[in-house]
Amino acid sequence: MLSRVADSLYWMSRYFERADNIARVIDATHSLMLSRVEVAADQRWYRALTTMGLKLDADNPDPQGAIRRLAADMTLRTSMMSCLGAARENASQVREEISSEMWEQLNRLHHEASALSLAVGDDESVMRLVTAVREGSYAFSGVSETTMTHGEGWRFVQLGKYTERACAVSLLLDAYFGANTQADDLDWIALLASCGAFDSYTKVFTADLQPDRVAELLLVYPEFPYSVRFSVERMYTALKAITAQGANRPRAQIGRIIGRLRSSLAFATVSELRAGDLHAFLNGVLDQCRAIHGAVHDAYIDYPVETAFEV
Amino acid sequence: MPIQSTVDVFSGYTLSDAFDEMFDGKAQPRRPYRKLHKELLKLTPEELLRSKQQADLTFFNQGITFTVYGRNEAIERIFPHDLLPRIVSAADWDVIERGLTQRITALNLFLKDIYHERKILDDRVIPGSVVYTCRHFRRQMSGVKVPRDVYVNVMGTDLVRLPDGRFVVLEDNLRVPSGVSYMLSSRKVMKQIFPTLFRKCGVRPIEQYSQALLSTLRALAPDGRPDPTVALLTPGVYNSAYYEHSFLARQMGIELVEGRDLVVHDNVVYMRTTRGLKRVHVIYRRVDDDFLDPLAFRVDSALGVPGLFSAYRAGNVTLANALGTGVADDKAIYAYVPSIIRYYLGEDPILDNVDTLLMTNDTHRAHVLDRLHEFVVKAVGESGGYGMLIGPHSSEEQRRTMRDCIVADPRNYIAQPVLALSTAPCLIEGNIEPRHVDLRPYVLYGEKVTIAPGGLTRVALRKGSLVVNSSQGGGSKDTWVLQT
């Protein structure tokens, strides 16, 4: 496969996942915001918004404005609509590679969301936009899964999606667990909802909300699709197939990083992590995801001609 | 003949001085069109409109579109398509086929000659000044050997039919002719919509075009490559013909590459794949000469591949079409094509040219400048209907501008009489009306000359208009070449 095509597939998928994550966080945050009377910059959900690349004025918090910008501001590169646009732009470069159903679904979602985002003003309009993106995103995931060939391109799609997800969930965990203020159930509900995890939590642990258990579900639980560990396992599957070919040195390097990341999650216990330095651990996850991204890019996308291996 | 029916769909059909493809001078359907005519009489305008909508929907769903760029937003439109096929008899096609084969053979000999020995210039058949002043003459190509000595591998010649029924050549497109994807897609749609009629008429197939194109490209591989890697080079998704590039690459099962996918190392061209660099032997390039290599041609080209020309000169990669073919479709050279055919082949042209007056000739220029309103004036290096003046439809202002241009740079212009292009029946808002058409068959030349029996029939959908270019309100229709 052409390196450029693999790169576009990776970024299409990564940006799409990012837009979807933002939609989920806005949805959860909005619901929480309605239950809170006072607004303070050190609140967990407010910190969570800053993980999405939105600069907030700590002295003068404006949650509604922040959410509006995060959803629909096209001048903000990290906004949901910017990410959706970037996903579509990347998809348009590789229309031969993705299925026509995927392109149609992405296109339809883009047009629908663009129309809604022009009308964004009050809370209701933001929520209409967010709902449209979330629903469109489920449809896109389903269509991708069932219509695209699960070949080499698919692996780059998977790698992009789960790398993004592992990073996003780690950032959210860091925002919620790193705050110094007293947390209550509403905070944990917001965090779980930001990862679409509330139902799963009650199924696994009942409705008794314990911070350790929340962290366990989102960080190391192997069977929940939004846990960091689940995402890393999917990255591993994609990488195993991608690195079946290629030069030895980068393959070994990629294998080493993903192997270390997998085992650190497989053998971690949440109580130990929380007693120790959870922030450092989550940062470690992010660093290793970045390292994998860089190593794959250097070995498969933008390798120097002099060291390239000829087929 | 049921009279009410003729009143229905053909009531708006009025014949003019132009040759009509369907009806003869006595308003009787010509032989090749009889079956179609009979079928059409059975249909109501409503049924025709329904079929038309069905066809448009199929085009849209299959993504057979071209992109119109507006502010911030790219809109996809379907290529305007006319439902009724244009029919070419076996006898007419035989002449076209022989004529085009003769023409591409002679033009290739001409290109080889002017980039090597230049005998035709020494023998004063064509003045050297005309050749060397061509915008698309590439001095860099002097002495470069191209595989099989074939420069033009894909040709899209525009033919028109004159009132006497003869097909003549209006334009040679020897650089990167486009439109073949519309020929193939519209055939597919027509087979779905008119299966019975299609079978009854006995239409020659064109579906093998992609295979023929691939064999042509493979036959051009640098020496001793039994299984060459072929790629299609596109300017990218923002090019208006991107759909066609992607379509052809998929049909042939070859990689669709952009300039940034290719690297040249030690004069060998590779594409960057996830499995490493893969050598490319043949490039079907849909990028103009000027933009191919910023080191050899335009330095500001971001579409090209630095070093590509040097790899090409070294014979490590084949570009199809070869570089520098544009000199032979310059509209001033066009006037000499009959002499070119006679010079290299010792034969008379099978397909005639349209009478062409060179503005470098003082007598011709004076004649044309006096009667601009009677002529079509074309800039020699342009295509796609740009830089053109249609005298009878022009304003005083436009003629004045053109006059100044001609006087300032006579080499850049030619003049032709206004031609009455033939008309063919088209479905216009539920009625069948005549519209002017041309015909662009696609000729391939690798190991041998192959011509898909058919082509792109372009239609000037505006009533009375003679301009068939898609950029200027033209559409297309399927072209049926009959078996017998």
Please give the DSSP secondary-structure letter assigned to residue B272. Answer: E
Q: Is the pLDDT assigned to residue B71 strictly greater than 60?
A: no
One domain, residues B63 and B101: no
One domain, residues B100 and B85: no
- ipTM (interface predicted TM): 0.83
Q: Is B56 on the interface with A (CB under 8 A)?
A: no
Q: Is the pLDDT assigned to residue A80 strictly greater than 90?
A: yes
One domain, residues B373 and B225: no
Using the beta-carbon criterion (under 8 Å), do A3 and B255 form an inter-chain contact? Answer: no
- B75 located within any domain: yes
One domain, residues B217 and B194: no
* Nearest-angstrom CA–CA distance, B337 and B357: 13
- Amino acid letter, residue B176: V
| B239 band by pLDDT with thresholds 50, 70 and 90 | confident
Of A91 and B71, the one with more pLDDT: A91
CA distances from A255 to A167, A266, A268, A276 (A): 19, 16, 20, 27
Model confidence pLDDT, tens digit, residues B11-36: 878 888 899 999 998 889 999 999 99
φ and ψ at residue B427, rounded to 5 degrees: -90, 110
CA angle B320, B321, B325 (to 5 degrees): 155
Residue pair B394/B372 in contact (Cβ under 8 Å)? The answer is yes
CA distances from B324 to B7, B114, B144, B288, B313 (A): 54, 10, 11, 10, 13
* Nearest-angstrom CA–CA distance, B319 and B301: 18
Q: Pick from B287, B316, B345: which residue ends a domain?
A: B345
- B37 located within any domain: yes
One domain, residues B312 and B328: yes
pTM, full prediction: 0.86
Please give the DSSP secondary-structure letter assigned to residue B38. Answer: H
Q: Is the pLDDT assigned to residue B410 strictly greater than 70?
A: yes
Q: Is the pLDDT assigned to residue B6 strictly greater than 50?
A: no
Of the partner residues B263, B265, B274, the one whose CB lies closest to the CB of residue A1: B274
One domain, residues B227 and B266: yes
- B174 located within any domain: no
B68: its two tokens: 């119109």
- B173 located within any domain: no
Residue B4: count of CB within 10 angstroms of its CB: 7
Model confidence pLDDT, tens digit, residues B394-404: 889 999 999 99
> Nearest-CA distance from A195 to chain B in Å?
33
Tell me the residue range of the domain where A187 lies.
3-307
* Nearest-angstrom CA–CA distance, B359 and B377: 10
- Our count of domains for chain A comes to 1
Task: Give Rg (Cα) of chain B.
Answer: 23
> Nearest-CA distance from A213 to chain B in Å?
41
Residues from chain A that touch B271, judged by Cβ atoms under 8 A, are: 2
Judged by DSSP in three states, A171 sits in helix
One domain, residues B237 and B156: yes
CB burial readout A63-76, b (16+ within 10 A) else e: beebbbbbbbbeeb
% of chain B surpassing 90 pLDDT: 67
Tell me the residue range of the domain where B198 lies.
3-89+183-204+431-481
Model confidence pLDDT, tens digit, residues B132-145: 999 899 999 999 99
Residue keyed to tokens 């060998």 = B268
Task: Give the per-residue pLDDT at A21.
Answer: 96
Compute the Cα dihedral for A188, A193, A195, A196 and give only its sign: positive
Best residue of B272, B280, B303 to probe chain A, by most A CBs closer than 10 Å = B272
Among the listed residues B281, B266, B275, the one whose alpha carbon sits nearest the alpha carbon of residue A303: B275
Q: Is the pLDDT assigned to residue B47 strictly greater than 70?
A: yes
Which CATH number fits the domain that encloses residue B297?
Answer: 3.40.50.11290
- Our count of domains for chain B comes to 3
Rounded to an integer, the average pLDDT of A6-11 is 97
One domain, residues B60 and B187: yes
One domain, residues B233 and B161: yes
| Residue numbers of A between 115 and 154 with CB closer than 8 Å to B | 152
Q: Measured between alpha carbons, how far apart are the two ends of chain A, in Å?
A: 12
Concatenated DSSP letters of A18-40:
HHHHHHHHHHHHHHHHHH-SS--
- B83 located within any domain: yes
Using the beta-carbon criterion (under 8 Å), do B261 and A4 form an inter-chain contact? Answer: yes
| B4 band by pLDDT with thresholds 50, 70 and 90 | very low
Q: Pick from B345, B370, B398: which residue ends a domain?
A: B345
Residues from chain B that touch A1, judged by Cβ atoms under 8 A, are: 273-275
One domain, residues B114 and B243: yes
Among the listed residues B152, B127, B165, B179, the one whose alpha carbon sits nearest the alpha carbon of residue B352: B165
